[in-house]
């Protein structure tokens, strides 16, 4: 597929500077681009690549100046978003799978919508409802009384436990487990444990993406809830009864303990740990490997460290920690001086 600069500008509501009839048929990073590539520049850290890139077209915003004369650019308000628009419309992978495979097992009481795909060796349990244009890929299992909305993809080797609810336009990647038992075990006087039945469920709202090998546990009672528009990375653990607000992003290897409530539009970076029964306010940003051990009540804060501190306080603390060896040496020197004076 060939796209002219003029056509791309129309799609992204931008303006062309250079040859509006130059054509591209692929996309690339600005440093790797060839003459038939479309790329973007939104981070000024990479602005030096403008002088050396071979790209056919570069998407930029008005903050990027000093454009080489031989380079065709398209100015638009958000280059990265514009680039994503072009990727989605013209270059995104088009899944060829359709129909119901002969080896799939579908219980008689299940209801499958129009234009669905059920892959090889997939299992659809009793009273499951799957909406129109949704796909359950090979070797995945959707157990009884589960509801899946329209245009949702359950990739291969996913387990969706009973009574789960998954909304429209969701993507659940391979190896994810939705609705597994929460970690509930009560200690007995003899040192053993009794398993606490987990009789709740998981509710995933519309437009959510769940990464591969992520586990979202069912609630002990009530629901574990993933809000509309959330993005959850690979290898994330979300425990029983957790509630996550809309459009929150959680990066890989993060873990949220039971009954915690994460606000809307939060960002949890990789390996963040959140203790149980905590509340985190809306628009909170938490840095990688931070440990959250108490409520964050003020919206819009940035935190890092273990136990967590406001970002600026944590940075000041790190400066002090780096200086501890010098401080120790100074203290020993002063102690020796005092000892000599006393003697």
Q: How confident is the model at residue 158 (pLDDT cuts 50, 70, 90)?
A: very high
Strand ranges of the sheet holding 153-154, from the earlier edge strand across to the other edge: 99-100, 117-118, 135-136, 153-154, 171-172, 209-210, 231-232, 249-250, 267-268, 285-286, 302-304, 309-310
* Across 23-27, 42-46, 207-211, least confident range: 42-46
Confidence (pLDDT) at 65: 83
**Check: CATH 2.40.110.10 for 99-314?**
no
Fold match between 3-91 and 99-314?
no
For the stretch 32-72, pLDDT in tens is 999 999 999 988 888 888 889 999 999 999 888 888 888 99
For the stretch 79-92, pLDDT in tens is 999 999 999 999 88
Confidence (pLDDT) at 254: 98
* Across 259-268, 296-305, 328-337, least confident range: 328-337
Q: How confident is the model at residue 321 (pLDDT cuts 50, 70, 90)?
A: confident
Confidence (pLDDT) at 64: 85
Residue among 48, 240, 277, 308 flagged as catalytic: 240
For the stretch 233-253, pLDDT in tens is 999 999 999 999 999 999 999
Q: How confident is the model at residue 96 (pLDDT cuts 50, 70, 90)?
A: confident
* pLDDT reading at 119 higher than 70: yes
* Across 9-13, 63-67, 119-123, 234-238, least confident range: 63-67
- How would you classify the pairing of strands 302-304 and 309-310? antiparallel
Percentage of the chain beyond pLDDT 90 is 80
Confidence (pLDDT) at 325: 86
Confidence (pLDDT) at 312: 82
Confidence (pLDDT) at 22: 93
Half-sphere exposure of 59 (CA within 13 A, CB side): 31
Per-position b or e across 319-339, b if 16+ CB within 10 A of its CB:
eeeeeeeeeeeeeeeeeeeee
* pLDDT reading at 341 higher than 80: no
Angle at the Cα of 216 (from 215 to 222), degrees rounded to 5?
A: 160
* Across 3-17, 247-261, 319-333, least confident range: 319-333
CB burial of residue 212 (10 Å; 0-12, 13-18, 19+): middle
Strand ranges of the sheet holding 123-124, from the earlier edge strand across to the other edge: 105-106, 123-124, 141-142, 159-160, 177-180, 215-217, 237-238, 255-256, 273-274, 291-292
Q: Give catalytic status of residue 240 as yes or no.
A: yes
Domain locations along the chain: 3-91, 99-314
Confidence (pLDDT) at 332: 87
pLDDT average, residue stretch 294-317: 90
pLDDT average, residue stretch 278-282: 98
Domain at 3-91, CATH from 3.40.50.1700, 3.40.50.720, 2.60.40.10, 3.40.1390.10: 3.40.1390.10
Q: Most confidently modeled of 7-21, 42-56, 117-131, 308-322?
A: 117-131
CA 264 to chain centre: 14
Cα(39)–Cα(266) distance, integer angstroms: 29
* pLDDT reading at 343 higher than 80: no
């Amino acid at each position: 597929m060939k796209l002219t600069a003029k056509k791309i500008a129309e799609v992204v509501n931008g303006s062309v500077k250079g040859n509006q009839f130059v054509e591209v048929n692929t996309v690339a990073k600005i440093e790797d681009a060839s003459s038939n590539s479309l790329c973007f520049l939104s981070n000024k850290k990479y602005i030096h690549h403008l002088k050396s890139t071979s790209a056919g077209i570069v998407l930029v915003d008005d903050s990027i100046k000093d454009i080489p004369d031989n380079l065709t650019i398209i100015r638009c308000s958000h280059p990265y978003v514009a680039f994503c628009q072009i990727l989605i419309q013209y270059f995104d992978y088009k899944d060829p799978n359709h129909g119901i495979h002969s080896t799939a097992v579908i219980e008689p009481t299940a209801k499958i919508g129009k234009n669905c795909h059920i892959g090889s060796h997939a299992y659809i349990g009793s009273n499951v409802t799957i909406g129109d244009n949704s796909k359950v890929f090979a070797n995945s299992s959707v157990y009884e009384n589960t509801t899946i909305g329209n245009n949702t993809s359950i990739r291969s080797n996913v387990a969706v436990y009973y009574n789960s609810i998954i909304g429209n336009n969701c993507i659940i990647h391979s190896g994810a487990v939705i609705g597994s038992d929460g970690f509930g075990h009560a200690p007995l006087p003899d040192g053993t444990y009794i398993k606490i039945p987990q009789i709740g469920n998981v509710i995933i709202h519309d437009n959510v993406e769940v990464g591969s090998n992520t586990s979202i546990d069912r609630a002990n009672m009530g629901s574990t809830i993933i809000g509309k528009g959330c993005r959850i990375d690979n290898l994330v653990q979300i425990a029983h009864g957790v509630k996550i607000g809309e459009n929150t992003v959680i990066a890989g290897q993060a873990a949220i303990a039971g009954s915690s409530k994460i606000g809307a539009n939060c960002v949890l970076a990789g390996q963040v740990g959140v203790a149980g029964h905590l509340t985190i306010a809306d628009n909170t940003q938490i840095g990688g490997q931070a440990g959250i051990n108490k409520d964050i009540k003020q919206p819009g804060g940035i935190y890092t460290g273990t136990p967590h501190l406001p970002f600026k306080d944590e940075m000041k603390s790190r400066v002090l920690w780096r200086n501890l060896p010098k401080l120790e040496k100074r203290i020993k020197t002063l102690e020796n001086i005092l000892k000599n004076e006393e003697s």
